[in-house]
Structures are given as C-alpha cells and as structure tokens.
C-alpha cells in the first residue's frame, strides 16, 4: 500500500518551506540512517512547522536526542517469548503475531524501534504454522495482530488472517494493534472491502477489537473520528493505548483532554503506558514515574469515570505492572498481567527515587509487602 508522505529531510523542507539548521541536519541524518523517518502527508499537515515544540512533530520527526543510546532495544523480553518466528506467547491467554515491520508512519518513541522500517527476521514467515500453534494451545483466548502496523498490509492478506483465525473455536476475540486511525484514517473509511470484512468477521460470538494509539488531542481530527465511526459501525470495538511522553502529553490538562476527545469519538481508554527505556527513546521521552503518577492522577481528577477507565502501566519483561499509588518515598505496584500467572494480582512496593523511570530503577524496601490476591 502506497501512503503519501515524506521520508527525507529535504522533502519536508520543500513541502513545508522550512530550513533545518546545517549542524542539526547532520545529526538528524545520522538518526535517520539508523531508524528511518516516514511522515504521512495527512499527519505532517497537523504539525505547526514553525513551532519547535509542536507535540505532533515530537512524535514523528527525528530528534538529535535519538543519538543517546542509553537503554535496550528489547525492554519487554520479546525475543524470549517468541515461540515461532513472528509469534510470541508471553501471557497464557494471548498470542501476539508480528505481521509486518512496516507502519503508516514511524513514531520516534516506538518500543519496537529495533525492527520497524528496517530489515528484520522477527516478522511472521509461516502464518499457517502460527495458526497451528494457536490451535494446539487451547488456553489462548485471543490473538493480537501487530507489527509494525497490520493495516498497511493488503486487504486480501487481512482477509486471510481473519478467515483462518476465525476457524479456531477457542479464540474469543481477535485484536489488531494499529495506528492507521491516527496516521492515515482514510485507509479505513475509504476501503469498503476492509469494512465489509470487519462486518463479516466481527460477530456476536467473536468480536474484532482494534487497539489504536492516540497520544495527543490534536490527533483526534475529523478524519480520525470518521475512521473510528466506520470501525464501530462495522462491528469493531476500538480502544486506545497512549504512551506518556515528555514534550507531548506530560501535562494533566493535555492528558485529560486527550481522554475526553477519544471517548467522545467512541474509543475506550485502555492503557497509558510508561515510556519504556528503549535505546534512542528513553533519554528524551521517558517521564520519571513519580512525575508520571502525579500527571496521571491530576488528569483523572478532571475526568468522569468513563474517561478514566485506563490503567497507568509499565509493560515490563515480567508482566504488565500497574502503578497503583505513591505514599511518601514508596511506590505501590501491582501485576495486572504476568508472564508467570501466579504473579497476577500481586501487590508490592519499592523505594521511589525522583528520577526512577522503570521497575529496574527501583530498589526493594526492607519489609516488602507481598499480598497474594
């Protein structure tokens, strides 16, 4: 699928009549050589190119901050959870398919930066073998088709995925992880066939979910609303995973507005993710946990119950850890999902330091609380 957009600094300079400083350009070029840039035209037009702090620009336009390589490329242990090429099985009930390494735009904060837009051996090669694995594992109730962005694949391929997965009786629902409603919403509302497919396969017995990724209220445009509306009208439940990002949404007012806007469009707030300590991401995007918790709680004070259904979580190697609360210099955490099912629901606390950004930065406290739920 050809998406209109920009993949070089020169194209951006020409299209938006801006001039990037020579020294800065050299640095950005170095960044792009490692991790490609692609900005869909529709999304590029949401940016005020004269504002150096434009939040949409921060999401999609490279930054010299990406030259900082502190962190890791696999913060969630994806390699160790891979059971076949492109198929991960970390949580008992969920299988994760990496269907492609392409996206409609490359987010600078992507936690799969190691593979998106560049050659990789991590995407699914033998879809039928993945299907066989899911068939053999009756504990799997749902499949998450992710990538990259699976909705950049041809509609025929999406149909094949849906038709094969729908034959597996123990699958209760199928999820797509896609940023297409944000980056290129017309791909959804202009493709009648895709919408018909969703209508066909999203049934009262096995619903299709689309988990998208709105990070800022400016992204909730008329076009994005139209895409969400088309999905809902064709039987798809749409939910949102945002990432808390420095310079984008690390402000209670912005985060609260984002939640209000997506709810008004019909999107269910699902998670706010703590930004992972990913190489070339951590140093310029991660908000410390203490500050992050304060932002999230202040945002929640501005919201009705519906708009604050999301959980603030860290997607850690050991599981999804909810940031439950902070008292004094202690942070309370809870396993919402865990690689080891016995840990699900486990509440624990750690010593909090002002700059800690991840579980591994937190020190144990002396009399550790461990309540099995």
Choice from 116, 134, 144, 299 touching ligand SF4 (CB under 6 A):
116
Where does residue 96 rank: exposed (0-12), middle (13-18), buried (19+ CB within 10 A)?
buried
Least separation, in Å, of the C-beta of 288 and ligand SF4? Answer: 22
Nearer to ligand SF4 (CB atom), residue 177 or residue 252: 177
Handedness of CA 10, 16, 19, 24 (dihedral sign): negative
Least separation, in Å, of the C-beta of 120 and ligand SF4? Answer: 12
Q: Are 270 and 240 in contact (CB under 8 A)?
A: yes
Least separation, in Å, of the C-beta of 142 and ligand SF4? Answer: 19
Which tokens in the block code for residue 33? 């050589």
Interface region with ligand SF4, contact rule CB under 6 A, candidates 99-107, 160-168, 257-265, 336-344: 99-107
107 binds ligand SF4 (CB under 6 A): yes
Least separation, in Å, of the C-beta of 257 and ligand SF4? Answer: 21
Least separation, in Å, of the C-beta of 23 and ligand SF4? Answer: 27
Which tokens in the block code for residue 359? 């579980």
CA distance linking residue 57 with residue 45, whole number of Å: 10
In the region spanning residues 143 to 172, those forming contacts with ligand SF4, defined by CB under 6 A, are: 147-149
Count of residues binding ligand SF4 (CB under 6 A)?
Answer: 11
Query: b/e map of 238-277 (b: 16 or more CB within 10 Å)?
Result: bbbbbbbbbbbbbebebbbbbbbbbbebebbbbbbbbbbb
Nearer to ligand SF4 (CB atom), residue 90 or residue 213: 213
Nearer to ligand SF4 (CB atom), residue 108 or residue 350: 108
Parallel, antiparallel or unpaired: strands 207-212 and 173-177: parallel
User: In the stretch 326-345, what mask flags binding to ligand SF4 with x, by CB under 6 A?
Assistant: --------------------
Least separation, in Å, of the C-beta of 147 and ligand SF4? Answer: 6
Least separation, in Å, of the C-beta of 7 and ligand SF4? Answer: 14
In the region spanning residues 179 to 198, those forming contacts with ligand SF4, defined by CB under 6 A, are: 179
Least separation, in Å, of the C-beta of 275 and ligand SF4? Answer: 11
In the region spanning residues 209 to 268, those forming contacts with ligand SF4, defined by CB under 6 A, are: 213
Q: Residue 318, CB half-sphere, CA atoms under 13 Å: how many?
A: 13
Q: Are 248 and 55 in contact (CB under 8 A)?
A: yes
Nearer to ligand SF4 (CB atom), residue 147 or residue 252: 147
Nearest in space to 343 (alpha carbons), one of 309, 316, 310: 316
Parallel, antiparallel or unpaired: strands 330-338 and 82-84: unpaired
Interface region with ligand SF4, contact rule CB under 6 A, candidates 105-113, 161-169, 226-234, 321-329: 105-113
Choice from 87, 103, 140, 287 touching ligand SF4 (CB under 6 A):
103
CA distance linking residue 13 with residue 17, whole number of Å: 5
Q: Are 216 and 258 in contact (CB under 8 A)?
A: yes
What is the contact surface with ligand SF4 in residues (CB under 6 A)?
103, 106-107, 110, 112, 116, 147-149, 179, 213
């Amino acid at each position: 699928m050809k998406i209109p957009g920009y993949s070089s600094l020169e194209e951006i300079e020409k299209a938006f009549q801006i001039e990037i400083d020579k020294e800065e350009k050299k640095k950005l070029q170095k960044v792009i050589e490692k991790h490609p840039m692609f900005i869909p035209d529709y999304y590029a037009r949401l940016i005020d190119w004269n504002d150096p702090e434009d939040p949409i620009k921060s999401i999609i336009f490279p930054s010299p901050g990406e030259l900082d390589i502190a962190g890791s490329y696999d913060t969630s242990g994806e390699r160790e959870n891979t059971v076949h090429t492109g198929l991960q099985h970390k949580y008992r009930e969920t299988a994760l398919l990496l269907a492609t390494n392409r996206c409609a735009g490359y987010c600078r904060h992507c936690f799969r930066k190691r593979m998106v837009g560049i050659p990789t051996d991590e995407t699914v090669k033998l879809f039928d073998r993945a299907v066989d694995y899911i068939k053999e594992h009756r504990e799997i109730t749902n499949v998450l088709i992710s990538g990259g962005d699976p909705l950049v694949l041809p509609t025929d391929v999406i149909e094949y995925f849906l038709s094969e997965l729908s034959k597996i009786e123990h699958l209760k629902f199928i999820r797509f992880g896609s940023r297409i409603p944000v980056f290129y919403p017309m791909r959804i509302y202009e493709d009648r066939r895709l919408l018909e497919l969703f209508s066909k396969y999203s049934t009262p017995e096995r619903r299709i979910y689309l988990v998208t990724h709105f990070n800022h209220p400016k992204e909730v445009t008329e076009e994005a609303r139209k895409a969400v509306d088309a999905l809902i009208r064709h039987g798809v439940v749409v939910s949102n995973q945002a990432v808390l990002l420095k310079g984008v949404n690390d402000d209670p007012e912005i985060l609260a507005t984002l939640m209000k806007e997506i709810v008004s469009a019909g999107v269910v707030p699902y998670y706010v993710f703590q930004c992972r300590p990913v190489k070339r991401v951590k140093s310029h995007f991660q908000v410390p946990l203490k500050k992050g918790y304060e932002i999230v709680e202040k945002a929640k004070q501005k919201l009705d119950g519906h708009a604050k259904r999301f959980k603030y979580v860290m997607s850690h190697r050991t599981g999804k850890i909810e940031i439950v609360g902070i008292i004094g210099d202690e942070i309370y955490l809870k396993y919402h999902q865990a690689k080891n099912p016995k840990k699900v629901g486990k509440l624990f606390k750690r010593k909090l330091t002002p700059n800690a950004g991840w579980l591994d930065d937190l020190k144990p406290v002396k009399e550790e609380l461990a309540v099995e739920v």
